Amino acid sequence: MVEIKVDPNVLAAMQRAFPSPPNSATRQFFRYVAVLKTMLLDSLLRGQTVEELKLNLFSISLHQLANKGGVIGGKDKVRVHKWLKDNNLALVETVKLGTNLTGMVSKVKFTELVSLEMPASTSLLPSVLEDVSATNSMNSPSAQTTADLLDHLYPDFAQCVANQTLDQVFDAVSIDVKSLGNYMQWLRKGANKLSASKRKLYLLQAHVILTVAKDKSGLYYQRKLPSDFGRTYYRGTSVQNVNKELRRAMLGNCWEYDIRSSVVAWKMGFATECISAMNLSGTVRENFKHTLSYLEDKKGLMATLQYLVFSKHSEVPAALQPTLLKQAFTALSFGARKTSRAWMDKNGEWARPAMVEILRVKQERDLFLNDVGVVGFINEQGMLDNYLFSGIKQQRPDLLKLPYLQTQSGNPSKSKCVAFLYQHQETLVMNIVRDAVVAHGKTVLARIHDAIITQERLGPELQNAIEQLMRDETDNCYWRLGATKLKRYALPNSKT
């Protein structure tokens, strides 16, 4: 996939400095380069930010590079990473140092002692200076290239097969190889509205999926990465983190069923309890009319807000406006701040509130946040958040001591606690959906947090039955599934 070429003088210097035991310098040098290569590939698969593209930077954990890069020497051993730096032979230069306080890895660039090369079949290294170039040989990578990629992604695959733990470590996704190939061809020849950097990232991700699928009998294996918050993520490129077009290209003809307004629907399940606990008068509808409006007439609400918030001269494309409004509501339901003031985190970096990141034009953001319906929604979500947080304090005070549910100052975080409860409930509810789908003889292709993708259409009767099952087993009458048909990727004027 990617090769790191290092100036021969680096290895020669190590060999002179550490002549014994024989070959130790050579062995440790190549170990260090192999670790660096792995981290570079991981960085590429995650994709580069605009800043990284402009400055040719890569996100790499220097802590892991130093620890995994090996040591060298006799009694007075020294890390290879440190020795290279101390002797002006460093392969990477730190541009922005990461920290475990924020979970951010460092941003680095390669020194003049290093050159990066990628085989012609996978010439996809993102760079603002080069155009997208990929040949048809991408669909038929060399045996060595395939072997290198598989060794990188699945070093323990054979062991998992032998130990019969494959299903415990990985989730396998069936790939529509023809559809994915068509998508890659479109990226190379027809994706004129995408930036060069996005085309290259999508091509790289698609190439990885296609290469694995061709080697693994049409399956792409995603390494599970359980979260403390209850969700299951995947390491590297997965059905969860690719763009929607690539997702439908890799899965082909299928159906996606997602929980509509899932976090808001979940919180509304506690509305009656909240009213009782806070000694409020009136019905659920009277106390939570704005939240119910969001759940019951989301399309109409979004259309009204789009008209009120975005003028005809807005820089935000009309097609993107509903998406931003939806993101804004989701952020508010997870406790996003209404303020637009930035703050400095423990790493000395200025952080901006979620609402500022979503609605970047102040006038549009103010129009949204000052709308009567939005203000009511925020107040109602605040009541539910306070009730849920109070419940944790009374019933599960042990959770408040967990570091990942605390603020940077060490105090319990209300928003993190609510997210913790929600994501565990989300997983439980989606397990109910998955089990019901399988019980009715349908094929589950993938899960994406609050959504499930099936090979076959469930049909209105089965969909309604599963919705009722979700409500009955969780005592929440607000769960509802939405259905979206996904079509395999076909080239223009083609039937395949």
Any domain includes 67 = yes
Please name which of 441, 466, 442, 465 lies closest in space to residue 455, comparing C-alpha atoms.
442
For residues 88 and 129, state if they share a domain: no
Q: Of 89, 117, 145, which one is at a domain's C-terminal end?
A: 117
CB atoms near residue 315 (< 10 Å): 9
Q: Is the dihedral of CA 247, 251, 254, 259 positive or negative?
A: negative
> In the chain, how many domains are there?
3
In tens, the pLDDT along 323-335 reads: 999 999 999 998 8
For residues 46 and 141, state if they share a domain: no
Any domain includes 421 = no
For residues 134 and 241, state if they share a domain: yes
For residues 126 and 242, state if they share a domain: yes
Would you state the pLDDT for residue 144?
59
Q: Describe the crossing of helices 362-369 and 298-309 by its angle, rounded to 10 degrees.
A: 140
Any domain includes 455 = no
Do 301 and 293 contact (CB within 8 A), yes or no?
Answer: yes
Half-sphere exposure of 479 (CA within 13 A, CB side): 25
Query: Domain residues for 344?
Result: 278-391
Average pLDDT, the chain: 87
Tell me what percent of the residues of the chain surpass a pLDDT of 70.
Answer: 88
> What band does 72 get if pLDDT is binned at 50, 70 and 90?
very high
Any domain includes 103 = yes
pTM of the model: 0.76
In tens, the pLDDT along 107-126 reads: 899 999 998 875 444 444 33
- Indicate the SS3 state at residue 430: helix
- Indicate the SS3 state at residue 59: strand
Any domain includes 42 = yes
Please name which of 380, 374, 302 lies closest in space to residue 338, comparing C-alpha atoms.
374
- Indicate the SS3 state at residue 329: helix
Q: Is the dihedral of CA 180, 217, 211, 158 positive or negative?
A: positive
For residues 286 and 386, state if they share a domain: yes
Cβ density class 341-363: b for 16+ within 10 Å, e for less: eeeeeebeeeeebbbbebbeeee
Q: Indicate the DSSP class of residue 99.
A: B
Flag whether pLDDT at 350 surpasses 50. Answer: no
For residues 328 and 385, state if they share a domain: yes
- Indicate the SS3 state at residue 104: strand
Do 256 and 484 contact (CB within 8 A), yes or no?
Answer: yes
Q: Of 117, 150, 166, which one is at a domain's C-terminal end?
A: 117
For residues 241 and 338, state if they share a domain: no
End-to-end C-alpha distance for the chain, whole angstroms:
29
Q: Of 391, 415, 440, which one is at a domain's C-terminal end?
A: 391
In tens, the pLDDT along 278-299 reads: 999 999 999 999 999 999 999 9
Would you state the pLDDT for residue 127?
33
Pairing relation of β-strands 254-259 and 481-486?
antiparallel
> What band does 145 get if pLDDT is binned at 50, 70 and 90?
low
For residues 93 and 141, state if they share a domain: no
For residues 190 and 241, state if they share a domain: yes
Starting from the edge strand earliest in sequence, which strands make up the sheet with 170-174, in order? Answer: 170-174, 219-226, 232-235
Length of the chain as a residue count:
496
CB atoms near residue 8 (< 10 Å): 9
Distance CA 270, CA 263 (A): 12
For residues 108 and 199, state if they share a domain: no
For residues 129 and 97, state if they share a domain: no
Q: Between 212 and 51, where is the model more confident? A: 212
- Indicate the SS3 state at residue 311: coil
Would you state the pLDDT for residue 135?
30
For residues 36 and 59, state if they share a domain: yes
In tens, the pLDDT along 433-489 reads: 999 999 999 999 999 999 999 999 999 999 999 999 999 999 999 999 999 999 999
